Amino acid sequence: MSTLAALLLAVPVLGWAVHARWLHRRLTTARHDPLTGLWTRDAFTRRARRLLRDPRAVVVLADVDHFKQINDTHGHAAGDVLLATVAARLAHGTGPGGVVGRLGGDEFAAVLLDRDGTAADRLHTLARVLARPVDTTPDVHTTVSLGWVRAADHPGEDLSTLLRRADEAMYAAKRSGRSGPLRAARLGRLLGSVAGRRPGRRGAA
């Protein structure tokens, strides 16, 4: 085979290789939020569902407090820096084996594995870290409300339901002005509370 013929045969192969690399970069970019580098909602969902097969999984919702005020006071560029900082701190706090995603705006979600039963302490520490000023812009800082739920407390519930429970806990923490994360009620405690409100139990010892 002549050199020219070999080159002509190689051109389509080379073209497909270049196209494949370009397509891979596009897909990778589409799976990551361009501002924070975290997984997008769909990419996070796929990975989070796999993690929920582990009974040690904990689902966390995080929402930046007073974010509009940060934008209004310091400008949108400062708000973007704050979001990127929150994302990096969440990713670090989630630890190896976990997954963090930006759901949109100033709301984030994470699934972490509680290997040693210290999830509550870890999340309280994370809340304090998230409240620190941005390193490059000390004037830009705020708290971040956290709500969380342990998947083992609600057996059989899917990611969507667990996220909703964590979301409810997070908004309860935001309304109460708590300085730390709030855990969603355990299924047993919740059922006991409902039973205690049933007719016929009023005045029971």
Catalytic residues: 106
Asked whether 185 and 74 are in contact (CB, 8 A), the reply is: no
φ, ψ (nearest 5 deg) of residue 180: -130, 175
Q: Which residue in the block uniquely carries the two structure tokens 């949108």?
A: 76
Query: Which tokens go with 105?
Result: 């705006």
Closest CA to 108 of 179, 183, 30, 170: 170
Report the distance separating Cα 122 and Cα 142, nearest Å.
19
User: Burial of 31 by CB count in 10 Å (0-12 exposed, 13-18 middle, 19+ buried)?
Assistant: middle
Which residue type, as a one-letter code, is found at position 118?
T
Asked whether 40 and 101 are in contact (CB, 8 A), the reply is: yes
Torsion, Cα of 170, 175, 178, 180 (10° steps) = 10
